[in-house]
Amino acid sequence: MNENGQFSKVSCVRFERLLPGPIERVFEFLTKPEFLPGWFGNGVIEHRLGGKVSLMDGHIRGTVTQWLPPHRLSYSWNVFSPGEELSAHPQSYLTLELQPRGDEVLLTLTHLPILERHARGRSAKRKGGGAQRLYGTQRRALRGRPRKARAVSREPLETFTRSQ
């Protein structure tokens, strides 16, 4: 035991991508229920601070911690298995930041913390799969080529699951 405060490093995953603008349209694609199925299964993000987040048919649940349209959205991220009311996985946070860049919009996704084993080598590249899918799906949809609703696996998410 140490009575003094201790600093620790936290691993995260961060991606930056340019998407077709304008910024308001990109924010809508990231937050409106009619657009969520194309990149994250059926879900809802309540458009307010403290709002409910439920993605992938309730597999991911959380609370909006920052609601600053059209520039920033942050929410807690909790992974639930079917029938669970208390997640067996550590809570983390997802932040989506948007910045205009001419006719395009810079989307920065930050997810933290992630377990150290997910932050190294091949595993780190795999953890980017969900974010890569998000960017590709959003880019296609913003260019008028939306993807069909994503089928949701009831197994724990490979992309961002953090098991103990």
pLDDT single digits (tens) 92-150: 999 999 999 999 999 999 999 986 655 555 444 544 445 555 556 666 666 676 655 55
Domain 13-142 in this protein, CATH class: alpha beta
What percentage of the chain reaches a pLDDT higher than 70? Answer: 70
Q: What is the mean pLDDT of the chain?
A: 80
Rounded-to-integer distance, Cα 131 and Cα 163, Å: 19
| pLDDT band of 158, cuts 50, 70, 90 | very low
Give tens-digit pLDDT for 56-77: 999 999 999 999 999 999 999 9
Q: Residues 156, 163: contact at Cβ < 8 Å?
A: yes
**Model confidence pTM above 0.85:** no
Our CA angle for 49, 152, 105, nearest 5°, is: 50
